[in-house]
Amino acid sequence: MRALTWHGKQDVRVEEVPRPEVVNPTDAVIEVTATAICGSDLHLYHGRVPSMREGDVLGHEPMGRVVEVGEDVETLEEGDRVVVPFTISCGACWFCEHDLYSLCDNSNPNAELARETMGHSPAGLFGYSHMLGGYAGGQAEYLRVPYADVGPVKIESDLTDEQVLFLSDIFPTGHMAAENADIDENDTVAVWGCGPVGQFAIQSADLLGADRVVAIDRVPERLEMAREHGDAVTIDYEDEDVYDRLMDLTGGRGPDSCIDAVGTDAHGTGVVATSDRVKQRLLLEDDRPTVLREAIRCCRKGGTLSVPGVYVGRADNFPVGPLMNKGITVKTGQTHVQRYLGPLLDQIESGNIDPSFVVTHDEPLERGPELYETFNDKEDDCIKVVLRP
Amino acid sequence: MATLEPQNEAERHRDGTSSETGRLPGTLIRGGQLVVGTALVDYGRRQRSSRGTAATVGGGALIFSALGGMSRVKRALTDRTDSERATEPERRETAVRRSITVDGTPESLYEQWRDPETFAEIMGHFAEVTPVDEGRFRWTVHGPYGRDIGWETSVVVDEPGEICRWETPTDAVLPNEGAVRFEEAPGDRGTVVTLSVAFEPPGGTLGSAALEQFDIVPKKLVGVALDRFKSLVESGEVPTLDRNPSGRGSGDTV
């Protein structure tokens, strides 16, 4: 089958690879009909995520039709149309039973590798390094889905692929980011990063009752989307000082909740940001925590910092003193996608939200490599890419 | 037989990471160099003049010096791959003990562990384990170039619902022993399963060479075996990358 494979820094190829099969009794194989490139795929693209191997199949936002099921699969059958969450979860361990699906104890075949680096292993993910499972991803014609009764959500209405595809990751991720932000009525919520996750975080913050959402980015069309679809106040951080503007907007209190929807590859200016980049090149630092630093500085005392943005390792110059002295609560983690599938599908079916508004590019899988580049360079007004295998 | 107690303390000292004394002044100087160097590079990048270029070059030199040249860069690289460091021969511990919490009662988990089919699957990542007769198993570890190493173990302590301990005869090619203990976890969290293994390589370095040659890493053996047991008990299967597609072919090892 044809698949997008990783070959190193900024080297993604379309390649012929073996077709996946049912291996374990709870597996299903789906024929992928639509699959998206995620902002977090760009961390792989930049070579930031350790334990990637040449030839790994990328992609963790897939949907399609079931073509094969293992003998123990009970809820799915051939022909079912499903969206597949990026988190692979067994559904039976303590974490899954407590709705903490992205922390599943049993789905990572390389748990020992993750444990050596992180102390404990989170769930296995599709197409996101060997430390996080090593599973082939969904930017391919076919995908093997383990624990098929736990992850995939069946789509039985006639909603289009683009309307439901983002249940796989970015819609639940933006939603959990807003939930983690502990939003109360009258709260001001600041969202760093107006990529797709930021856009869904903005919308969810609004749904959860925020009085006002402030969106921070530097890409004009992303800020425009935040104003138009999310009714947000926007800050272009290249034009204005983010701290000053946020204090202006909040009477000096600072936003009650801050959401970092950027993660490890944040851009930034000044000595510290340059130092980050130098250290990152020399492999002395893994992450550039530019947004975390700024959010901690801006956040209201006793406020909440929610971090859906992906970080991969260690960061320097982390303002742990301000974090502690301002009494800020931090909530983070990969998304417990399975927890949100039902409620968010309901939101889409009832017409409260149509997630397809983020799509700017809808192209054949074969164009994947060039679209990784376009998305990375934020050219051609690119916000979200859907690929058709 | 070697002790079943973990030897982490000793390892830590052999590794030298506890000898921090006397390092601080050097660290401070290097830190200062790094800050000043970085500031110079940043300044230099903004100035389009010979002065700017000089600042960039000078700053870069300071940064490089702060990092102690390539040796420290190399060490930083090593730091990134903790997994590789863990398998370096000199860090290879021969006796390891680790626990995991598994859903189930000590009695039911003991029963599952003692099922020869389950036991073979738990150890499947490390050795081919086949039952010989009651309480006796034949272990075969596949090495490079089609060479195998093997031994037989007998269960020597067996208390249902509590503990099972096995060992090789002392004249085995690679004498070793193992034990698994089941204890109720606090609250409703199931059972704490503790697995220990100890290898006593014969003839000192020659024996250590056998561990290396057959890539036997007791720490990994124990960690992965416990993971496999837990997954099998809780979800009914062991997660696998068998036949996983990639540009390298089918399966994770190719």
Contact (CB, 8 A) for A126 and A47: no
Residues A307, A309, A310, A312, CA torsion sign? negative
**pLDDT level of residue B17 (50, 70, 90 thresholds):** very low
Q: Is residue B101 within 8 angstroms of chain A, CB to CB?
A: yes
Average pLDDT, stretch B175-185?
Answer: 96
| Subunit contact B189:A19, Cβ cutoff 8 A | no
| Subunit contact B250:A282, Cβ cutoff 8 A | no
How many Cβ atoms from other residues are within 10 Å of residue A224's Cβ? 14
Closest by CA to A178, choosing from A380, A375, A353, A359, is A353
| Subunit contact B239:A54, Cβ cutoff 8 A | no
pLDDT at residue B3, rounded to an integer: 42
pLDDT at residue B52, rounded to an integer: 59
Token couple for A249: 């907007």
Helix (H) or strand (E) segment spanning residue B137: strand B136-142
Contacts of A57 in chain B (CB under 8 A): 245-247
* Closest Cβ opposite residue B227 in set A57, A111, A270: A111
Prediction ipTM score: 0.91
CA–CA separation, A175 and A168 (whole Å): 12
pLDDT at residue B4, rounded to an integer: 45
The secondary structure of residue A58, as a DSSP letter, is P
If one compares B18 and A228, the residue with the highest pLDDT of the two is: A228
Q: Quote the minimal CA–CA distance from B246 to chain A in Å.
A: 5
Per-residue pLDDT tens over the stretch B129-149: 999 998 999 999 998 888 899
Q: Quote the minimal CA–CA distance from B59 to chain A in Å.
A: 11
* Closest Cβ opposite residue B41 in set A56, A92, A278: A278
How many Cβ atoms from other residues are within 10 Å of residue A275's Cβ? 22
Per-residue pLDDT tens over the stretch A39-94: 999 999 999 899 999 999 999 999 999 999 999 999 999 999 999 999 999 999 99
Residues in a beta bridge with A329? A304
Strands of the sheet with A329-332, listed across from one edge = A233-236, A212-217, A188-192, A257-260, A304-307, A329-332
Q: Quote the minimal CA–CA distance from B78 to chain A in Å.
A: 10
The per-residue pLDDT string of chain A (389 residues; one tens digit each, 9 = 90 and over) reads: 999 999 999 999 999 999 999 999 999 999 999 999 999 999 999 998 999 999 999 999 999 999 999 999 999 999 999 999 999 999 999 999 999 999 999 999 999 999 999 999 999 999 999 999 999 999 999 999 999 999 999 999 999 999 999 999 999 999 999 999 999 999 999 999 999 999 999 999 999 999 999 999 999 999 999 999 999 999 999 999 999 999 999 999 999 999 999 998 888 777 888 888 888 788 788 888 999 999 999 999 999 999 999 998 888 889 999 999 999 999 999 999 999 999 999 999 999 999 999 999 999 999 999 999 999 999 999 999 999 99
pLDDT at residue A276, rounded to an integer: 83
pLDDT at residue B248, rounded to an integer: 94
If one compares B183 and B71, the residue with the highest pLDDT of the two is: B183
Q: What DSSP assignment string belongs to B210-224?
A: HHHHTT--HHHHHHH
Token couple for A337: 């996608």
Q: Is residue B228 within 8 angstroms of chain A, CB to CB?
A: no
Angle between helices A170-180 and A337-349 (to 10 degrees): 110
Contact (CB, 8 A) for A154 and A164: no
pLDDT at residue B145, rounded to an integer: 85
CA–CA separation, B63 and B32 (whole Å): 9
| Subunit contact A24:B237, Cβ cutoff 8 A | yes
- A241 CB contacts (<8 Å, ≥6 apart)? none
pLDDT at residue A277, rounded to an integer: 83
Q: Quote the minimal CA–CA distance from B235 to chain A in Å.
A: 6
Which of B237, B240, B242, B248 should we substitute to test contact with A (largest number of A Cβ atoms within 10 Å)? B237
Residues in a beta bridge with B181? B163, B194
Q: Are strands B148-159 and B163-167 parallel, antiparallel or unpaired?
A: antiparallel
Average pLDDT, stretch B109-121?
Answer: 96
CA–CA separation, A385 and A143 (whole Å): 19
Residue type, B174: L
Q: How many residues does chain B have?
A: 254
Which of A5, A12, A284 should we substitute to test contact with B (largest number of B Cβ atoms within 10 Å)? A284
Contacts of B243 in chain A (CB under 8 A): 18, 20-21, 23, 144
| Subunit contact B189:A94, Cβ cutoff 8 A | yes
* Strands (DSSP E) found in chain A: 2-6, 12-16, 28-37, 56-57, 62-69, 81-83, 87-88, 124-125, 142-145, 153-154, 188-192, 212-217, 233-236, 257-260, 304-307, 329-332, 361-364, 385-388
Contacts of A26 in chain B (CB under 8 A): 235-237
Contacts of A62 in chain B (CB under 8 A): none
Contact (CB, 8 A) for B210 and B174: yes
Contact (CB, 8 A) for A311 and A282: no
Per-residue pLDDT tens over the stretch B215-246: 888 999 999 999 999 999 999 999 999 999 99
Contacts of B241 in chain A (CB under 8 A): 109, 134-135
Q: Quote the minimal CA–CA distance from B29 to chain A in Å.
A: 17
- A308 CB contacts (<8 Å, ≥6 apart)? A173, A174, A176, A177, A180, A197, A201, A259, A260, A261, A263, A332, A335
Which of A49, A103, A106, A283 should we substitute to test contact with B (largest number of B Cβ atoms within 10 Å)? A106
Nearest CA in chain B to A127: B246
Q: In the predicted model, is pLDDT for residue B33 greater than 80?
A: no
The secondary structure of residue B86, as a DSSP letter, is H
pLDDT at residue B207, rounded to an integer: 62
The secondary structure of residue A18, as a DSSP letter, is P
| Subunit contact A270:B42, Cβ cutoff 8 A | yes
Residue with tokens 């960039």: B56
